[in-house]
Amino acid sequence: MSTSSRFAVAVHVLTLMAWAEEEPLKSEQVAESVNTNAVVIRRMLCELAESNLVISQTGSMGGSKLARPPESITLQDIYQAVESRGVFSLHRHPPNPDCPVGVNIGAVLNDVLDEVDAAVQGVLANMTLRDVVSRLKPCMSTASGKRVSATNGKRKQVARVQSVSARN
Amino acid sequence: MSTSSRFAVAVHVLTLMAWAEEEPLKSEQVAESVNTNAVVIRRMLCELAESNLVISQTGSMGGSKLARPPESITLQDIYQAVESRGVFSLHRHPPNPDCPVGVNIGAVLNDVLDEVDAAVQGVLANMTLRDVVSRLKPCMSTASGKRVSATNGKRKQVARVQSVSARN
DNA sequence: CTCAACTGTAACTATATTTGTTACAGACAA
DNA sequence: TTGTCTGTAACAAATATAGTTACAGTTGAG
């Protein structure tokens, strides 16, 4: 069904910023953590900025940080910012209008899909970025400090292990 | 997010069969209502048969019908039969394991996505195929009778109105 | 003022997934 | 045994997402 990782990446990006608190992060730094290209991140940051979730600053010493405190940003906000279309799609081509089922099934399905989408958003509304950060913390060694990445130089990108991405 | 219409098509197909009651439908007939190719329908029918939702019969006078009464088939059953992957995906490539956020975000997201998926299925479990048929009926003129399609010959396929599919 | 470090964005290519099509072997009723 | 179906393989087309390169414009530092 869903073939998009946009939501997962958006949560990841914003979590990094919640983690970094007020310090602006550069798209390169974020890209390194997400393991993708910096332009992909910048594109997403533009969308997140339009929804007033982040603020970016151009120029030297620029970067992006959260626009508001992490406890005020829910996963629903993020979902709405980056996943415009609902959970399912309807028919690619409209069904046959001469068939009594075909002509009406769209309306029925739309009702169902609206209900589903509302349920999804209901779940996502119950978790904030602050919660995500809290869930992250127990997993880590406390010694490793607060920086996003200890090595901030030109580290080689992590090898991409093909076809091992979690949900397949 | 979702780029698949599999669920919508599956519901449509099974609704046709609920509508037709015991009479087996041919893949061509179904394809005409869904406005797609018969092979697409047959592929989906195979999946639905594996989940014991339909029974197909090969040979002349063959076709497919529901394997059990429509009130015993929920939209959740259909969802599970045709939408193997959950609602969202995680990162295409695994995040950087050297970053404290990157290494743990997957676990957090997985929990969230499981919750979301459960919510989706909860909604879908509350509606049966019988309900879908009931919701269909009020929309139709009662005069048009019960046949799936009045013209059962080689009617030309409905013109495909590009990019007007409901949710875009 | 000038430079170097950033973002924003366009234009592409690559990759993955779904959908549509053609073709044909095998099942089955008449 | 013949014509009508399903099941399935193999492939083409369409669509969407992700990745890349390139560059204009902004900004702080010196």
- Each residue's pLDDT, cut to its tens digit, for chain A (168 residues) gives 555 799 999 999 999 999 999 999 999 999 999 999 999 999 999 999 999 999 999 999 999 999 999 999 999 999 999 987 777 889 999 999 999 999 999 999 999 999 999 999 999 999 999 999 999 876 554 434 444 443 333 333 444 443 333 333
- For A52: left if phi > 0, alpha if psi spans -120 to 50, otherwise beta; the answer is left
Q: Which residue is nearest to nucleotide D18 (CA to C1')?
A: A40
Which of A29, A27, A30, A22 minimizes the C-alpha distance to A69? A22
With H, G, I as helix, E, B as strand and everything else as coil, classify residue A124.
helix
Cα distance between residue A16 and residue A136, in whole Å: 11
Instruction: Give B155's contacts (C-beta < 8 A, 6+ positions apart).
Output: B32, B149
Q: What is the pLDDT of residue B83?
A: 87
Q: Which of A167, A143, A104, A43 is nearest to B92 (CA)?
A: A167
- Residues, chain B: 168
Structure tokens given for A167: 């949900």
Q: Which nucleotide does the CA of A36 lie closest to, via C1'?
A: D19
Residues B85 and A2 sit within 8 Å (Cβ to Cβ):
yes
Q: b/e for A27-62, b at 16 or more Cβ within 10 A?
A: bebbbbbbbbeeeebbebbeebeeeebbbbeeeeee
CB contact under 8 A, A90 and B33: no
Please, which residues bridge with residue B55 across strands?
B65
Min Cα separation A15/chain B (Å) = 7
What local confidence, expressed as pLDDT, does residue B120 receive? 94
Please tell me the predicted confidence (pLDDT) of residue A85.
72
Q: Where are the beta strands (DSSP E) in chain B?
A: 54-57, 63-66
B 139-168 residues, CB < 7 A, strand D: 162, 168
Helix (H) or strand (E) holding A55: strand A54-57
Q: Per the CB < 8 Å rule, is B103 touching A139?
A: yes
* Amino acid identity for residue B39 in this structure: V
Arithmetic mean of pLDDT over chain A? 84
Model pLDDT, residue B87: 79
Whole-angstrom distance, CA of residue B35 vs CA of residue B157: 7
Partner-chain contact B100 A140, CB within 8 Å: yes
pTM: 0.84
Q: How far is the CA of B49 from the C1' of C26 (A)?
A: 19
B3 touches strand D (CB under 7 A): yes
Q: Which residue's C-alpha is at the least distance from the C1' of C5? A: A60
Chain A 36-95 residues whose Cβ is under 7 Å from strand D: 36-37, 39-40, 57-62, 85
Residue with CA nearest to D8's C1' atom: B43
In terms of Cβ atoms closer than 10 Å to its own Cβ (0-12, 13-18, 19+), residue A66 is buried
Residues of chain B below pLDDT 50: 141-168
Average pLDDT value for chain B: 84
Residue-level pLDDT at A115: 95
* Contact indicator for B92, A165 with CB cutoff of 8 Å: yes
